[in-house]
Structure 1
Amino acid sequence: MTYGIIATWAMALEGVSDAAKNLANNGTIADNIEAAIKNIEDFPFYKSVGYGGLPNEEMIVELDAGFMNGDNLDIGAVAGIQDFANPVSIARALSTERLNNVLVAEGAAKYAQKKGFERKNMLTDRAMIHYKNRFKENSQTIQPDIVPYRGHDTVGVVGLDRAGSIVSATSTSGLFMKRAGRVGDSPIAGGGFYADSEVGAASATGLGEDLMKGCISYEIVRLMRDGLSPQEACEQAVNALETQLIKRKGTVGDLSVVAIDKNGDYGCATTIANFSFVVATDKIEPTVFIANRVAGKTNHEQANKAWLENYIQTRTAPLIEK
């Protein structure tokens, strides 16, 4: 039987590559999606996920994560959790509980502590420099209030294994300089993630306040259930939500989604330029693609070596406090 995994952003390449090897040898999708996201959470240069994630307005790193098992529709999520290394693992553990599947802030931390998850100071020196530089930029504006920075790279991973199990999971530090306690779509089932092993799975990244208004991950899976391909479902869901928000509010934030179905076919749609995602299946070696939308349709092109080198270099370049 087929297997496949797709993740938002080129930062997921290493984790997806390791997962693909394990899935080819009958590894479970649940284990390998968790491992792929932990790989990103642990790398300090990815400034929107895990260790090194950018802090809120009070210079505190608050992390969100979600996990959904498509076999039984079990979900687990944490929001606003501080000082734990791998929130995706905590979310997965919560998905196995009969009750209390979504925990926030202090309650999430108490659960994680009781279950023995690793405690860790998640605020790095590099993230503090980002914060201080941004704070100075804000203080020099006409209106010196802290304004959250909207560009961020939530990791979302969806996939299936040879046994036919499908999983969707997310992890993020959310908007840079967000208000304390702010929660976006990432830990919200149906918003940032959704999985159903009879159909497929989807995950989203972008401005959570807008993504959750369309229950977009659930909507993509629903459209696939109705017969659309993953690509068609992603494009229809993104275009419809963007149209509605512009009609009703006059504005819309970044919207990007990925999806996979039970046959291993995948899709991606975005409203931004040069959105990257990673795919590996039994037919495709782990590959980074660049997505751009032209006339309402998202085109995917394989990233070349120069693009990948620039991607890593810009994210690992030394920082200087201004």
Structure 2
Amino acid sequence: MSQRRKFIKQSLMGTALFIPGLESTVRPFSRKEINSKPLILSTWNHGLPANDAAIQRLKSGGSIIDAVEAGVKDTELDMDNLSVGLQGLPDREGITTLDASIMTGDGSCGSVAFVRQIKHPISLARAVMEKTPHVMLAGEGARQFAISEGFPLEKEELSPKAAEAYQEWKKTSQYKPIINIENHDTIGMIGMDANGNLAGSCTTSGLAYKMHGRVGDSPIIGAGLFVDNEVGAATATGLGESIIRICGAFLIVELMRQGRSPREACEEAVRRLISKNKNIKDIQAGFLAMNKDGEVGAFAVHPGFNYAQATLQENVLIDSKSHF
């Protein structure tokens, strides 16, 4: 079964990783932050190459919004990643649909939901932010907007790995996903440039074998992503329904506004999530945050969540602490 269906990742402690152009290592979680700018954070181990792409975009003169877009575009093209991009696992009808959002610290934001045939939904979300009076476009309307903006429509077919996994799933067609088995590893990225400006991005193919039309937290501003230059930024990964119920990313930023550290804010979000969701043993969610001073925090419901952290000097993978 696909690696994506294993939420509890094998520990990477002690494993050396190398990303061209950056020194990459793995080290234990640390609440203390090196307070270096620029700073890029992203969820999961696929955040390492995504961070590298974001840092390289900054080095080439790009803005922080350019960087967080470029970073997750790298993941959207990763054919080995079955939870992001058109190669992702499909819904129950065998159709891959995508969600994405993007936001800057001044409150500008854009998102797309239930999008088909678009290779880079994050770029489409940015176009919604910059070229329309709206925040979110969905479904056929989002696809029509993409066509009007010159986005090519890709052929609608499953990637080989997704097709194989889908045929295996159809043998039982189990309706209810068990999150620690049927994983959907959204990539969320938040970043700060050398001047302290913040931005974030989030993109996913969503929950595997979901009902056709289901939308998770990733494209919802305040749930999967929230950014405020006055405070900080947060992003989320895991079962979208559980994150939506507590407006997870917005909650974390507001807690930081009230004086909580990023780690404390993420811990409180996890406690709220646990209190609002039944069958918590089958629900995983992880939160990642930074404040305007460059302090970083993360926390998850269950073990297994990790995140990548990059500066101009290094790119490292860090294991998050968890409630259980």
Shift of 1:101: 2.2
Q: Unaligned 5+ residue runs, structure 2?
A: 1-35
Matched-pair contact (CA < 8 Å) for 2:86–2:205: no
Change in 2 beyond 3 A, CA 1:88/1:231: same
What secondary structure is seen at the aligned counterpart in 2 of 1:288? strand
Distance 1:291 1:260 in 2: 14
Do the aligned residues in 2 keep the contact of 1:86 with 1:118 (CA within 8 Å)? no
Alignment partner, residue 40 of structure 2: 5
**Between structures 1 and 2, the one with greater helix share:** 1
The verdict on how the C-alpha distance between 1:108 and 1:22 changes in structure 2, with shifts beyond 3 A counting, is: closer
Cα shift at 1:212 = 0.6
For residues 149-298 of structure 1, the aligned pairs below 5 Å read 150=179, 151-242=183-274, 244-246=275-277, 249=278, 251=280, 253-281=283-311, 285-293=314-322, 296=323
SS at match of 1:218: helix
What residue number does 2:79 align with? 44
Q: Is the contact made by 1:201 and 1:259 (CA closer than 8 Å) also made in structure 2?
A: yes
Identity %: 37
Q: Following the alignment from structure 2 to structure 1, what is the Cα–Cα distance between the partners of residues 260 and 267? A: 10
SS in 2 for 1:10: coil
Q: CA deviation at 1:28?
A: 1.5
* Match 2:117 to one of 50, 63, 83: 83
Say if 1:285 and 1:163 are closer, same or farther in 2 by CA, change over 3 A: same
For the residues of structure 2 that align with 1:82 and 1:98, how far apart are their CA atoms? 20
Q: Is the 8 A contact 2:86 2:97 kept in 1?
A: no
Q: 2:89 is matched with which residue?
A: 54
Q: Match of 2:289, SS? A: strand
Count of equivalent residues? 284
Between 25-34 and 149-158, the greater mean CA deviation after superposition: 25-34
Residue 26 of structure 1 and its aligned partner are, at CA, apart by 5.5
1:306-317 to 2 correspondences below 5 Å: none
Q: 1:117 — aligned with what?
A: 151
Contact preservation (8 Å) 2:238, 2:285: yes
Higher RCO, Cα 8 Å, sep 6+: 2
- Which amino acid letter does the alignment assign opposite residue 280 of structure 1? A
Read off the aligned partner of 1:104 and give its amino acid letter: A
One-letter amino acid of the counterpart of residue 219, structure 1: L
Q: Closer, same or farther in 2 for the Cα pair 1:147/1:250, shift >3 Å?
A: closer
1:228 to partner: Cα distance: 1.4
Shift of 1:25: 6.4
TM-score of the superposition, structure 2-length normalised?
0.83
Deviation of the 1:146 alpha carbon: 3.5
Structure 1 residue runs of 4+, over 6 Å off?
A: none
Q: Is the 8 A contact 2:303 2:320 kept in 1?
A: yes
Structure 2 Cα separation of the partners of residues 53 and 121 of structure 1: 14
Kindly state the Cα deviation for residue 29 of structure 1 after the two structures are TM-superposed: 1.2
Q: Is the CA contact (8 Å cut-off) linking 1:185 and 1:208 kept in structure 2?
A: yes
Deviation at 1:149, TM superposition (A): 5.6
Question: Given the superposition, is the C-alpha separation of residues 104 and 279 from structure 1 closer, same or farther in structure 2, using an over 3 Å criterion?
Answer: same
Tell me the TM-score normalised to structure 1 length: 0.83
Deviations for 1:165-199, whole angstroms, at most 9, x for unmatched residues? Answer: 21121101111110110001110010000001111
